Amino acid sequence: MNNKYIIAFDQGTTSTRTIIFDTQGNIQGISKKELTQYYPQSGWVEHDPNQIYNDQKETFETVLKETGIHPKEIAAIGITNQRETTVVWDKETGEPVYNAIVWLDNRTQDICQTLKNKGLETYVREHTGLVIDAYFSGTKLKWILDTIKGAQEKADAGQLLFGTIDSWLIYKFTNGKQHVTDHTNASRTMLYNIKDLKWDDTLLAALDIPKSMLPEVKTSSSNFGSVTYKDTTIPIYGVAGDQQAALFGQGGSIEGIAKNTYGTGCFLLLNNGKDYVSSKNGLITTLACSLPNEPTHYALEGSIFIGGASIQWLRDKMLLINEAKETEAICNSIPPLKDLYVVPAFAGLGAPYWDANAKGAIYGITLDIGKNEIIKATLEALAYQTKDVIKAMEEDSGKAITTLKVDGGASANNYLMQFQSDLLNVTVDRPKMIEITALGAAMLAGLKAGVWTKKDTESIRKIDHVFSPKMDTKTRTEKYAGWLTAIRRTKTFNEA
């Protein structure tokens, strides 16, 4: 039987899915299960690692049954996962010692403060590319060792293992044979030296984490072990954290390619090539998907806390719309805005401003402003915030970005995409494939399996639409200057 298909495991924050792609990159089947969220205390978010594994297994079996595709026709599996989420389990029994602590969970702020007090901020930035923050796995792992009775002793005795969700899934699917991860996931732990590509002894010592707990770090497109199903062995040949997988799926193995995922928040990544650059503008540096026999590339990353969430706010709190997609027709139905800005700093301001106390604001309201104008200004704020991060990336990298690849729910909005192109004065390129993250993981696996060449992966990503800038320079400059004034005033309000 020919190996005609590639499977992607897409283990996300809210759901677990298995997707089958054919060799053209078309989806042949999807199976999905919602993931239970646990909130034991304010600011805490947990998942059940056993549910994650069982759901992944179930969706895998279901999609094979539903499509009638025989396991022998699957060339390889690629895994993409929610990043930073931390699992610690017993090496003997394979049982987690605690729930998975989810990336969003901020219970470890005190541990972060201790690291800062030890003067490690510059060290962390220069060696891991990150800022000291509760998001990343290192302090979550420390919390488990400190809190669970006997965990530190067992860890010191080599009886406990740590992993991000990719490692956990591979460990379970390989019956404990493989304890591995890839460069992209390792680079989110705050324990991995992204310059030397090895676990960082100084940070491990600072957090009292024994090295024996940590997985072996591999190239993103390599052999991670195999899954056995009905007497068929299917290799796992690709692994990447979700945002890096999306960058790869967007063609971002090439230096200079940038992508923005417009979801609840927005995640921007720029492939900045093989030289490490430390950000001076509030971005982080992380590892892009690595390929065999090629130098590892670094990516600059910036996130926008409130992206599509502001459209949900229009719908659920302001009651101005019934559905997110209505915003496109509304924006097209009224003339361009003049000096009206919504600054959706509902959760403070992220990159490049980093003002945790900032609150949202609307500027420029006059008597003729009604609900449609507010809707339009809210949508345009996604584009302005994106421009802020792109500008920071250009300053850090010293490169001009010429095309922005886009994905995520709000990238379906044509008005927003055209406005984004106008504002950035670059082309905005939206692919046909909406499952670009899963496709990225499938591509990593398909490359190693020999199903695709690198050239093939470029043509698999088919373009849906390219938006070209139409706005004149004067208008663009004035509009953005107005936005920067709105940001300045938002910050000043906070200081007053």
Interface with ligand ADP (CB under 6 A):
263-264, 308-309, 311-312, 324-325, 327-328, 408-410, 412-413
- Rounded to whole angstroms, the Cα distance separating 420 from 426 reads 8
Name the residue nearer to ligand ADP (CB basis): 309 or 441: 309
Q: How far is the CB of 414 from ligand ADP (least distance, A)?
A: 9
Is the peptide bond prior to 336 cis by the omega test (within 30 degrees of 0)?
A: no
Name the residue nearer to ligand ADP (CB basis): 217 or 314: 314
Instruction: Give me the residues paired with residue 343 across strands.
Output: 361
In the complex, which residue's CB is closest to ligand ADP? 409
Q: How far is the CB of 281 from ligand ADP (least distance, A)?
A: 24
Q: How far is the CB of 15 from ligand ADP (least distance, A)?
A: 9
Q: How far is the CB of 421 from ligand ADP (least distance, A)?
A: 16
Name the residue nearer to ligand ADP (CB basis): 59 or 152: 59
CB 464 within 8 A of CB 431: yes
400 C-beta neighbours (distance < 10 Å), count: 10
Torsion of CA 209, 213, 218, 222, to 10 degrees: -160
Can you read off the two tokens belonging to residue 365?
A: 């309201």
CB 434 within 8 A of CB 407: yes
Q: How far is the CB of 243 from ligand ADP (least distance, A)?
A: 11
CB 421 within 8 A of CB 427: yes
What's the chain's length in residues? 496
Name the residue nearer to ligand ADP (CB basis): 312 or 403: 312
Can you read off the two tokens belonging to residue 66?
A: 């539903």
Handedness of CA 123, 127, 129, 135 (dihedral sign): negative
Can you read off the two tokens belonging to residue 495?
A: 């200081």
Q: How far is the CB of 410 from ligand ADP (least distance, A)?
A: 3
Name the residue nearer to ligand ADP (CB basis): 263 or 273: 263
Q: Which of these, 396, 399, 194, lies nearest to 279 by C-alpha position? A: 396
Q: How far is the CB of 41 from ligand ADP (least distance, A)?
A: 24
Name the residue nearer to ligand ADP (CB basis): 276 or 313: 313
Name the residue nearer to ligand ADP (CB basis): 214 or 345: 345
- Rounded to whole angstroms, the Cα distance separating 383 from 414 reads 12
Residues with Cβ within 8 Å of residue 13, at least 6 apart in sequence: 35, 82, 85, 102, 103, 104
- Rounded to whole angstroms, the Cα distance separating 153 from 455 reads 50
- Rounded to whole angstroms, the Cα distance separating 265 from 309 reads 7
DSSP code per residue over 84-150: S-EEEEETTT--BSSPEEPTT--TTHHHHHHHHHTT-HHHHHHHHSS-S-TTSHHHHHHHHHHHSTT
Q: How far is the CB of 81 from ligand ADP (least distance, A)?
A: 14
Name the residue nearer to ligand ADP (CB basis): 108 or 327: 327
Q: How far is the CB of 495 from ligand ADP (least distance, A)?
A: 30
Name the residue nearer to ligand ADP (CB basis): 284 or 306: 306
